[in-house]
A and B are shown apart, each in its own frame.
Chain A
Amino acid sequence: EPEVTQTPSHQVTQMGQEVILRCVPISNHLYFYWYRQILGQKVEFLVSFYNNEISEKSEIFDDQFSVERPDGSNFTLKIRSTKLEDSAMYFCASSLRPTRSENSPLHFGNGTRLTVT
């Protein structure tokens, strides 16, 4: 079964440093997402991406965050200057059809654990 893959599985960085989290969505999927989950808390939406542009973003997704689809397969999340509170699990997800259609669920990658020290 095709799956979403994410690298690295764990990233440790110092406060103020830039990090890039990488994702390869399922190849025939059209919508791409980044979510984060602070340990013990709920899954929080960051951004959705469709047709090579951001379609929606949350309040969390401020100017420190950016996303890019540099080629036909990768989807990246960049945090320009990390803060301690950015420490979380970051999940990439993709879905096949536009969400206005029924039953087009999200498929998640196995996540990148980001630790900011």
Chain B
Amino acid sequence: RKEVEQDPGPFNVPEGATVAFNCTYSNSASQSFFWYRQDCRKEPKLLMSVYSSGNEDGRFTAQLNRASQYISLLIRDSKLSDSATYLCVVVTGNQFYFGTGTSLTVIP
């Protein structure tokens, strides 16, 4: 079973829409969780950490459900500039495990 599973999409949404991505992880001992954004042929960039109580940064909300072993990312009021691949990253022990990424295209 993969450490991290993520729906690759693609998600094509109109500007202004709300879109949500989920990511599941297999190891209940995983201790840290992050969402990264990756533009085409660029490096992954940290979007936000995911805290146990859930956290929000502007239009972005991240949540962690330890019981069901998934994390989610909600983007409200999508902008054209949100088009990218979103990677969930799960830390277990000393290892960072990457999901395959979910592709998002925001359409005018």
Chain A residues at the B interface, C-beta cutoff of 8 Å: 33, 42-45, 48, 55-56, 89, 91, 98-111, 113
Residue in B closest to A55 when the chains form the complex, CB atoms: B94
Known A99-B31, A111-B43; 15 more pairs at CB < 8 Å:
A42-B99, A44-B98, A45-B95, A48-B94, A55-B94, A89-B41, A91-B44, A100-B93, A103-B51, A105-B34, A105-B49, A105-B89, A106-B44, A108-B44, A111-B42
Known: A91-B44, A111-B42, A111-B43. A106 touches B94 (CB 8 A): no
Chain A residues whose C-beta falls within 8 Å of the C-beta of B34 in the assembled complex: 105-106
Query: At the interface, is chain A mostly helix, strand, loop or mixed?
Result: loop
A104, B42: Cα distance in complex, Å: 21
Chain B residues whose C-beta falls within 8 Å of the C-beta of A45 in the assembled complex: 95-98
Query: 8 Å CB contacts to A: which residues of B11-41?
Result: 31-32, 34, 41
Q: Are A43 and B42 in contact (CB under 8 A)?
A: no
Chain B residues whose C-beta falls within 8 Å of the C-beta of A111 in the assembled complex: 42-43
B100 at the interface (CB under 8 A from A): yes
Q: Are B43 and A109 in contact (CB under 8 A)?
A: yes
Q: Are A108 and B96 in contact (CB under 8 A)?
A: no
Q: Are B96 and A102 in contact (CB under 8 A)?
A: no
Q: Are B98 and A43 in contact (CB under 8 A)?
A: yes
Q: Which of A44, A56, A105, A109 contacts B95 (CB 8 A)?
A: A56
A113, B41: Cα distance in complex, Å: 9
Q: Which of A43, A102, A107 contacts B87 (CB 8 A)?
A: A43
Listed by A's residue number, 17 A-B pairs whose Cβ atoms lie within 8 Å are A42-B101, A43-B44, A45-B96, A98-B94, A99-B31, A99-B91, A99-B93, A101-B32, A103-B32, A105-B89, A106-B89, A106-B96, A107-B46, A108-B43, A108-B44, A110-B43, A111-B42
Closest CB pairs A-B (n = 4): A108-B43, A43-B98, A42-B100, A103-B49
